[in-house]
Chains A and B, each alone.
Chain A
Amino acid sequence: MLRFVIRRLLQAIPTLLVLSILVFAWLRLLPGGPATALLGDKATPEKIASLNSVLGLDQPIPVQYFKFLGRVVTGDFGASLVSGDTVLAEIGRALPATIELSVAALVLAIGFGIPMGYLAARYRGRFLDNATVLTTLVGVAVPVFFFGVLLKYVFAQKLGILPPSGRQDVTIDATHVTGFFTLDGLLTGELDATWDAIKHLILPGIALASIPFAVIVRITRASVLDVQQEDFVRTAESKGLTTATIRQRHVLRNALLPVSTTIGLQTGLLLAGAVLTEKVFNWNGLGSLLAQGIERRDYPRLQALLLLAALVYVIVNLLVDISYAIIDPRVRVR
């Protein structure tokens, strides 16, 4: 098992290296540049040229790349052109926000998705099943930003029961310890801060969960239906096991194998979904960081973020494979 993990980790290094070259070259081949964005409307072409030479952006791209690689090896991703903070500090600040939101979305998607998928399969062809299938169709078809704006309109603007955006009310003077606002309040004993953070989490959490939820429902439903037809289920039935035992031990457990793959893939996709959700809900996480970085052509920030995204993807895939190996020992042999 350990060897399997190490081998997979080593395979990730050349992947990341190639990705870093692609990201670096792609950014620099985009028209416009950070100097134009940094200097604003009053910038003259001379000032832009001058800033480019100060920043070293007038050098050939391969030279810039190797300088960048040299710094990255020492853990220096540079500073953001927009904020002047080091990119790592920015990511450190934004990461808890994105994790908090993604976990909330995952909990919602899995917590409601698996039971609903299971129930839909159990009552196949009946009202509950049809309603579920229709809901998931809508969930997949409606874009996150539209759904998000709609949620805000109904629950924040019209009903006024939930905050429209942001992570915490600005008038709350909360202490941040971990950067996870829901935890921070518990740690410092400021329960109102935690409650406020949870309220802020609900709408973006639902918006972000909509797609993985729909996907998980559909996969669980299909998978349960499949497994129910398997020989071993019939064997178990003929052995005289109770229906409850068969459902829990045999059907659900085996049906969850493809579901776990889906959850893994959806976790990777959550980051992509987070870009839109974070923008709509002014959620100050990695997605917002990325969106603003693109607008301002913030090379150092974008380079680090895109590499991080690639790294996360590699790791998530690895975890999926490991979970496979745990659930189904045959995978390890391959």
Chain B
Amino acid sequence: MLPTRAVGLRRIALIGLAGALAVTTAACASERGSGDSASDTFIFGAAGAPKNFDPIFNDDGESFRPARQMFDTLVTYKPGTTELEGGLATAWTPSNGNTTWTFTLRQGVKFHDGTPFNAAAVCFNFERWFTMKGAAAQSQMIYYGDVFEGFKTNEGDISGEPVYKSCEAKDDGTAVLNLNKAKGAFPDAFGLTSLSMSSPDALKKYDADNVTQSGEAFSYPPYATDHPTGTGPYKFDSFDKANNTITLVRNDDYWGEKAKTAKLIFKIIPDENARKQELAAGTIDGYDFPSPADYNSLKDAGDQVLIRPAFNILYLGINQKNNPKLQDVRVRKAIEYAINKDQLVRNRLPEGAYAQDQFLPNNVPGYTPAVEKHSYDADMARQLLAEAGASDLTLNFYVPTEVTRPYMPNPVDIAAAVTDDLKAVGIKVNVIQEPWNGGFKDSVQKIGKHDLHLLGWTGDYADPSNFVGTFFGRPKAEFGFDNPQVFDALSTADAQTTPETKKTAYENASVVISQYVPAVPLSSSPPGIVVRSDVQGLIPTPLTDERFYTVTKG
């Protein structure tokens, strides 16, 4: 008995010693591994994985964020604003009634694969988009489809007349884009991340156009998954899907200011609470869209909550189709008078939000103080309802759940405040809650089951057509009206070819819309982005497309 126990003890002691040794060596090694590069690596917590890295096939923020660091666009937006400035083009000049755009290109720019950026490369990109084949590819090119309206060969249900006509490389430094018609979205839309410039060589080498359908989904070619090649301040290094990490490295040949950190890592953390805890534990340096409810605790912990200028709209939608009383403008005005927007903004929306009387944020041309205002006045609301014979009004109010958006951090709370205001003037409200992607969007945007609904929009670029044009430019199930005066005002505005006439025409459209009240504008809210106290140089932008090459740590 005794000898066996002695052997056993000795064995345990040996195992323990070996374990302790292993732990010590490992600890030393890990200190070595992370010690020297900490301040040279910026780690950002992302809420989701990118769909892929080819900007043209993407339309969501999580895909755009890494793309924005690796690619440049012809024009871009001044950091922190929605104003245009030179990107890969130093000048962009319209002619022929805005159907021709001449780009003067930046000299000496190289793609990450070492090939030169020039007019031929610009035209290669435009041609590639225009001639993209396959319904799969086209249904993935949401922004291109929106801006350029059609393809050389339209497939699926896309049937628009293409805006793109041709592209000529006049010389290395001059690219000329010819369009079939003028479009108000230009030149702002040239700055869309989707329309980033890719290396023609890499596009060909990695089979970029070969999007295939597999079962009920699409599979992307190697260019989009492993070899995105732009001109941006960072280059693609790896996407470790097992560890959910995207690593970018500094592009030492960047044409502009070189990136301050050698590595930029995106750590994908879908759960917001988990992002918050990682920030507190110091394993990430920042994350996007912190919940407004956390602003104070984040600041108390020493983190910086950077507030972007508001570039979105929250509105109470009105559908005129189901309830004839809603076709009476007095009833719609009564609904607007009934809502105490200032109180809503104060109690339910983040710092920096402001009440709205029109459908454009105040930093977009077309915003005007001249709109007809229906500021909170419960008595006026009751009076208008009585005049319209609608004192016994009952409305079905559709509210989304399971969603947060920069313009509505908590839709159910906001809806509750609106409902209270409506009830206070005698409107009966049936609140119907549906999950965002589990019924709400179908009920409201496709079928139009509702009388009222809560929805909003974040802009893509600072052109008014991207806001009011999207909402009220044509008949939609969401609003259920057909008013030539509103449609005309918007299409006239979109056809203007100079910034000045466009601004005036959109101001006019804003006034027409405010008189017609197709919906009730509620507020614009600034989304936040949070970084640790030792992070400097991040400029929050209204378009939420921050570039991280200016960021330093420590």
Contact yes or no, A179 B242, CB < 8 A: yes
Give the A-B contact count at a CB cut-off of 8 A. 208
Q: Mask for A178-201, Cβ within 8 A of B = 1, else 0?
A: 010100000000111011100000
**Given contacts A79-B215, A171-B265, A192-B30, A41 and B270 within 8 Å (CB-CB):** no
Are A50 and B267 touching (Cβ within 8 A)? no
Binds A, one of B19-27, B103-111, B315-323, B525-533: B19-27
Question: Which of B22, B142, B219, B245 is the one whose CB lies under 8 Å from A85?
Answer: B219
Q: Verify if B269 is at the interface (C-beta below 8 Å from A).
A: yes
Bound form: Cα–Cα A97–B271 in Å? 18
Q: Is B429 an interface residue (CB 8 A)?
A: no
- Judging by beta carbons under 8 Å apart, are B219 and A86 in contact? yes
Complex CA gap A97/B52 in Å reads 23
- Interface residue? A254 (CB, 8 A): no
In the complex, are the beta carbons of A157 and B146 less than 8 A apart? no
| Residues A279 and B271 in contact, CB atoms below 8 Å apart | yes
Report yes or no: B270 in contact with A156, Cβ–Cβ below 8 A: no
Considering the chains assembled together, what is the distance between the CA atoms of A84 and B278 in angstroms?
A: 28
Say whether, besides A36-B437, A83-B51, A300 and B157 are in contact (CB < 8 Å): no
Closest to A57 in B: B216
Chain A residues with CB below 8 A from B30, complex form: 169, 172, 192, 195-196
Q: Mark A75-100, 1 if CB is under 8 A from B, else 0.
A: 01111111111110000010011000
Cβ-defined contact, A194 with B26, below 8 A: yes
* Residue interface mask B8-48, A partner, CB < 8 A = 1: 00000000000000110111011011100110010100001
Say whether B213 contacts A54, CB under 8 Å.
yes
**Closest approach, in angstroms, between the C-beta of A98 and any C-beta of chain B?**
12
Whether A71 pairs with B26 at a CB distance below 8 angstroms is: no
Contact yes or no, B277 A45, CB < 8 A: no
- The answer to whether B135 and A282 have CB atoms under 8 Å apart is no
Which residue of B48, B157, B244, B281 is within 8 Å of A284 (Cβ)?
A: B244
B165 within 8 A of A: no
Question: Considering the complex, which residues of chain B in the window 195-250 have a beta carbon less than 8 Å from any beta carbon of chain A?
Answer: 213-220, 225, 240-245, 247
| Besides A31-B435, A166-B269, A191-B29, 20 other A-B contacts (C-beta < 8 A) | A44-B445, A54-B135, A78-B216, A79-B219, A80-B217, A84-B218, A96-B242, A152-B277, A157-B281, A164-B277, A165-B277, A166-B283, A172-B30, A176-B242, A195-B29, A280-B274, A281-B274, A282-B271, A292-B48, A299-B216
The 4 A-B pairs with the shortest beta carbon distances in the complex, nearest first, are A78-B215, A195-B26, A192-B29, A31-B439
B-binding residues in A (CB < 8 A)? 30-32, 34, 36-37, 39-51, 53-57, 68, 71, 76-87, 93, 96-97, 149, 152-153, 156-157, 160, 163-172, 174, 176, 179, 181, 190-192, 194-196, 279-282, 284, 288, 291-292, 295-300
A-B residue pairs in contact (CB < 8 Å), sample of 16:
A31-B435, A32-B438, A42-B143, A50-B156, A55-B217, A57-B216, A71-B215, A76-B215, A84-B217, A86-B214, A96-B242, A97-B242, A165-B269, A191-B26, A194-B26, A196-B30
